[in-house]
Amino acid sequence: METTNVKAYGTASADAPLAQMNIQRRTATAKDIEIDILYCGVCHSDLHTARNDWGFTTYPTVVGHEIVGKVTKVGSEVTKLKVGDFAAVGCMVDSCQTCDSCKQDLEQYCSNGFTGTYNGKDKHLGGMTLGGYSEKIVVEEHFVLKVPANLNLAATAPLLCAGITTWSPLRHWKAGKGSKVAVVGLGGLGHMAIKLAKGLGAEVTLFSRTPGKEKDALELGADSVIISTEADQMGAVNGKFDLIIDTVPYIHDINPYIGTLNTNGTLVIVGYLGGIEPFLNTVPMIMGRKSVAGSLIGGIAETQEMLDFCGEHNIVSEIELIKMQDINEAYERMLKSDVRYRFVIDMASLK
Ligand SMILES: [Zn+2]
Ligand SMILES: [Zn+2]
């Protein structure tokens, strides 16, 4: 298969800083779209993959799955976009497209495993897929999204992971006018959950462990902030929420939040993979038919729905634009939660 050499920023090992390297992109086939990458958001998964925190990174790796760019080439069978259009790519670049999940537009739950935008098995070139910290990417049309013309392109990038990860549970559990939604954690995911839930018409509350987030949360659209370590504040929202979106990315006790769910309420975990400690008390769940659930990104059709909704409601991420060369420092700042609320790389700095 023919390939093109493009500049990228990646790493050859878990303990090496990210640095410039050259990678190969396939020449667009009949079904492919070639995109000149303008902006790429910086997700916590990027950092965990670059540093092999989950133990399954294949090196060298190039991460990045919040991609916005301009179409530079389309294959002969492509109908969705044309050269010059703005386009976006999120966390997936392929799936079997034939299993029950894929047929229901749930490619993220493909029973044969979706192909991640990075560190996934590349069906075309062999080896592993390489992500958005690069000049160009070539992706099959089905996995490319259209970008609403009115949105700021850089601030749109984080919608492709942080946005859809919170949008999908809001839609699945039918958040809207009259519903009461709470968000746990105010970071990349949490700030999008607030904006999207508010956009859908829900009453939105932020749970925060420490004071100091009130002003930001209210500016983002939250109606109230509850300090979760204050017993009287937690007591005041006992049995209140229809849906809680828990975005906290590390192990934490979810029991206090279960008590704040209404009958039939659901707490959805989107930020943390792994065991729950110290334990999960089933009593409040059984006594109120409450659920604890998980949710992973969203399907391609749902991602387009989210982007179109954001276009209509003028919703984008709060970002800090950085140069590609600043990525190692950005990772250190992310580990300290020192970002409001998403870094986005200006890819012009790589060219
Ligand atoms: Zn991500
Ligand atoms: Zn499938």
The ligand whose atoms approach the alpha carbon of 41 most closely is 1
pLDDT at 186: 95
Domain boundaries, position 251:
163-294
pLDDT at 1: 84
Q: How much is the average pLDDT of 302-322?
A: 98
9 and 95 part of one domain: yes
Q: How much is the average pLDDT of 109-119?
A: 98
Three-state DSSP at 351 gives: coil
Q: What is the rounded CA–CA span in Å between residue 156 and residue 39?
A: 9
Alpha carbon distances (Å) from 32 to 36, 84, 105: 13, 15, 19
The ligand whose atoms approach the alpha carbon of 100 most closely is 2
Query: Which residue has better confidence, 248 or 276?
Result: 248
On whether residue 342 sits in a domain, the answer given is: yes
**Nearest alpha carbon to residue 41 among 272, 314, 304, 319:** 319
pLDDT at 278: 83
Cβ-count burial 230-251 (b if 16+ within 10 Å, e if not)? eeeebeebeebbbbbbbbbbee
Asked whether the predicted pLDDT for residue 261 surpasses 90, the reply is yes
Q: How much is the average pLDDT of 291-307?
A: 98
Q: How much is the average pLDDT of 283-302?
A: 97
pLDDT at 351: 83
Asked whether the predicted pLDDT for residue 277 surpasses 90, the reply is no
pLDDT at 276: 86
Q: pLDDT confidence of 87, banded at 50, 70, 90?
A: very high
pLDDT at 95: 98
Question: Residue 76 C-alpha to ligand 1 middle, in angstroms?
Answer: 31
Q: How much is the average pLDDT of 239-260?
A: 96
Give the pair of three-digit tokens for residue 339: 């970002």
Residue 194 falls in which region: left (phi positive, over 0), alpha (psi -120 to 50) or beta: alpha
Q: What is the rounded CA–CA span in Å between residue 181 and residue 159?
A: 19
Question: Residue 105 C-alpha to ligand 1 middle, in angstroms?
Answer: 19
Rounded to an integer, what is the distance from CA 307 to the centroid of its chain?
13
Asked whether the predicted pLDDT for residue 267 surpasses 90, the reply is yes
On whether residue 259 sits in a domain, the answer given is: yes
Within 13 Å and on the Cβ side, how many CA atoms surround 276? Answer: 13
Q: Mean pLDDT check: name the lowest of 59-68, 233-242, 271-280, 307-316.
A: 271-280
We report the CATH number of the domain holding residue 329 as: 3.90.180.10
On whether residue 300 sits in a domain, the answer given is: no
148 and 174 part of one domain: no
Partnered with residue 25 across adjacent β-strands are 4
On whether residue 305 sits in a domain, the answer given is: no
Q: What is the rounded CA–CA span in Å between residue 306 and residue 168?
A: 8
225 and 157 part of one domain: no
187 and 269 part of one domain: yes
Instruction: List Cβ<8 Å contacts ≥24 apart for 336-339.
Output: 337/187, 339/188
The ligand whose atoms approach the alpha carbon of 334 most closely is 1
Question: Residue 213 C-alpha to ligand 2 middle, in angstroms?
Answer: 41
Q: How much is the average pLDDT of 170-190?
A: 97
Overall number of domains in the chain: 2
Q: Mean pLDDT check: name the lowest of 151-165, 202-216, 316-330.
A: 202-216
Helix ranges, the chain (H): 44-50, 100-103, 153-156, 162-172, 188-199, 214-220, 231-236, 255-258, 283-288, 300-313, 327-335
156 and 12 part of one domain: yes
pLDDT at 298: 98
The ligand whose atoms approach the alpha carbon of 47 most closely is 1
We report the CATH number of the domain holding residue 277 as: 3.40.50.720
- pTM listed for this prediction: 0.97
Question: Residue 94 C-alpha to ligand 2 middle, in angstroms?
Answer: 9
User: Mean pLDDT across the chain, nearest whole number?
Assistant: 97
Q: How much is the average pLDDT of 191-199?
A: 98
Cβ-count burial 315-338 (b if 16+ within 10 Å, e if not)? bbbbbbebebebbeebbeebeeee
Asked whether the predicted pLDDT for residue 180 surpasses 90, the reply is yes
Q: How much is the average pLDDT of 154-162?
A: 98
